[in-house]
């Protein structure tokens, strides 16, 4: 059975292409608006004045917004959603995810980043597969004990610094939370 949240996310994805006239609009799926405004008092959704740097370039080019993404992170057949929120008082931002479980969504704080230049960062969707990690590529500066490769079973969250480093946040079934692995430096 498809939930109303799943339908809302799918409709948003289909209708989310940005034209140059709409480039300054910020929009999220309805479920993100509900959770972000109702639960996370210290964070806010990005606003029009936040469209700078990489975020503005994506909007002008009509690309998917780099401040939210979706995928089935835990493999239950229901579309989950990840999004960037900006701290209202501090100069940092965080990536949160709404992950479904038995038809209900649970909010997960994926990672808090201590950087005020959030418009240079983005998130996207990683498809299942086997990926060589930063450690496997010989970088090893983030965690020398990290694996050389990682097998992504379900869609996962890609976090990246525009034209620079990136990491994956993938669902760990045992802890029912996200694990991080560096992919590039």
Range name among 43-47, 92-96, 98-102, 140-144 with the lowest pLDDT average: 140-144
In sequence order, the 6+-apart residues with CB closer than 8 A to the CB of 150 are 130, 131, 133, 168, 170, 181
Chain segment 37-83, per-residue pLDDT in tens: 666 778 888 888 888 888 888 888 888 888 899 999 999 999 999 99
pLDDT at 15: 35
Average pLDDT in the 91-110 region?
A: 89
% of the chain at pLDDT higher than 90: 34
- CA-to-CA distance for 169 and 74, rounded, in angstroms? 12
SS3 letters for 40-94?
CCCEECCCHHHCCHHHHHHHHHCCCCCCEEEECCCCCCCCEEEEEEEECCCCCEE
With CA atoms as reference, report the closest residue to 183 among 14, 117, 164: 164
- What's the mean pLDDT when you consider all of the chain? 80
pLDDT at 39: 67
- CA-to-CA distance for 18 and 59, rounded, in angstroms? 6
pTM of the predicted structure, to 2 decimals: 0.80
With CA atoms as reference, report the closest residue to 36 among 124, 109, 117: 109
Q: Which residues pair with 122 in a beta bridge?
A: 160
pLDDT at 22: 36
Give the residue carrying structure tokens 């809302």: 8
Question: Can you give the length of the chain in residues?
Answer: 185
Buried b (16+ CB within 10 A) or exposed e, 81-111: bbbbbbbeeeeebbbbbbbbeeeebeebebb
With CA atoms as reference, report the closest residue to 122 among 172, 53, 181, 73: 53
Chain segment 10-43, per-residue pLDDT in tens: 334 333 333 333 333 477 787 887 777 666 778 8
pLDDT at 141: 66
Average pLDDT in the 102-117 region?
A: 85
Question: Which CA distances in Å does 66 have to 47, 125, 153, 174?
Answer: 13, 10, 23, 29
pLDDT at 171: 96
pLDDT at 95: 92
Q: Which residue has the higher pLDDT, 113 or 27?
A: 113
């Amino acid at each position: 059975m498809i939930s109303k949240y799943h339908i809302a996310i799918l409709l948003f994805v289909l209708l989310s292409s940005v034209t140059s006239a709409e480039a300054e609009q910020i929009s999220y799926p309805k479920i993100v608006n509900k959770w972000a405004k109702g639960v996370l008092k210290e964070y806010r959704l990005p606003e029009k004045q936040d469209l700078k740097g990489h975020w503005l370039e994506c909007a002008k080019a009509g690309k998917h917004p780099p401040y939210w993404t979706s995928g089935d992170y835990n493999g239950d057949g229901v579309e989950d959603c990840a999004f960037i929120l900006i701290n209202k008082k501090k100069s940092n931002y965080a990536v949160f995810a709404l992950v479904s479980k038995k038809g209900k969504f649970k909010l997960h704080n994926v990672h808090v980043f201590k950087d005020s230049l959030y418009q240079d960062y983005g998130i996207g969707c990683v498809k299942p597969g086997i990926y060589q990690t930063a450690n496997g590529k010989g970088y090893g500066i983030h965690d020398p004990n990290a694996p050389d490769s990682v097998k992504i079973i379900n869609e996962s969250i890609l976090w990246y610094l525009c034209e620079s480093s990136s990491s994956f946040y993938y669902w760990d079934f045992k802890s029912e939370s996200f694990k991080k692995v560096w992919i590039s430096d």
